[in-house]
Amino acid sequence: MKYDAEVKISLKKGMLNPEAATIQRALALLKYQVENTETLQIIKFSIEGDSEDIVRQKVDEMCQKLLCNPVIHNYEIGITPED
Amino acid sequence: MKYDAEVKISLKKGMLNPEAATIQRALALLKYQVENTETLQIIKFSIEGDSEDIVRQKVDEMCQKLLCNPVIHNYEIGITPED
């Protein structure tokens, strides 16, 4: 069966995020006052697997090995069966 | 009142996404077969405003002026009142 996987990657609390800081500063220059700017990345793909649990475990392995840096990133995995 | 704004930015259909292609190739090298890999970016911030509609319009302006490139990006805006 095919599943849609979605990995949401964010920086851990306390990590500096220069991208977000730059966005916030640029918005301020355009007279938009915003606070607590954060950026996240989402990686989506479809993957074949026997069950949701097996797929989730596989995607977790991918996160540990390649997609995330566990030292600086938090990640959330979402798995939904494809129609 | 304070609102949490979330802008989800994706590439328009047909745009090449070398980042996603690289991730998919790297996963294949690790023996994970995945398909239709996509990457998206989320920008989150909190913003002061009188109503949800006014805030949404402001964030839309920000997208047009700075956050997105309307030629290549689609974007979705989510506004939720802060607790």
Instruction: Choose among A73, A78, A22, A68: nearest CA to B45.
Output: A22
Nearest CA in chain A to B36: A45
Average of per-residue pLDDT across A55-83 = 95
**Cβ contact B47–A30 (<8 Å):** no
Q: Any idea how long chain B is?
A: 83
Average of per-residue pLDDT across B52-74 = 96
- How far is residue B17 CA from its own chain's centroid? 14
Q: What pTM was estimated for this model as a whole?
A: 0.90
Domain residues for the domain of B47 are 2-81
What does the pLDDT read at residue A70?
Answer: 92
The CATH number of residue A67's host domain is 3.30.1280.10
ipTM of the complex: 0.89
**Cβ contact A36–B46 (<8 Å):** yes
Does B83 have pLDDT greater than 90? no
Average of per-residue pLDDT across B62-68 = 96
Chain A: give the shortest CA distance to residue B67, in Å.
8
What does the pLDDT read at residue A83?
Answer: 77
Domains identified in chain A, total number: 1
Angle at B11 between CA A45 and CA A56, to 5 degrees: 15
What does the pLDDT read at residue A16?
Answer: 95
What does the pLDDT read at residue B77?
Answer: 97
Does A62 have pLDDT greater than 80? yes
Chain A: give the shortest CA distance to residue B59, in Å.
9
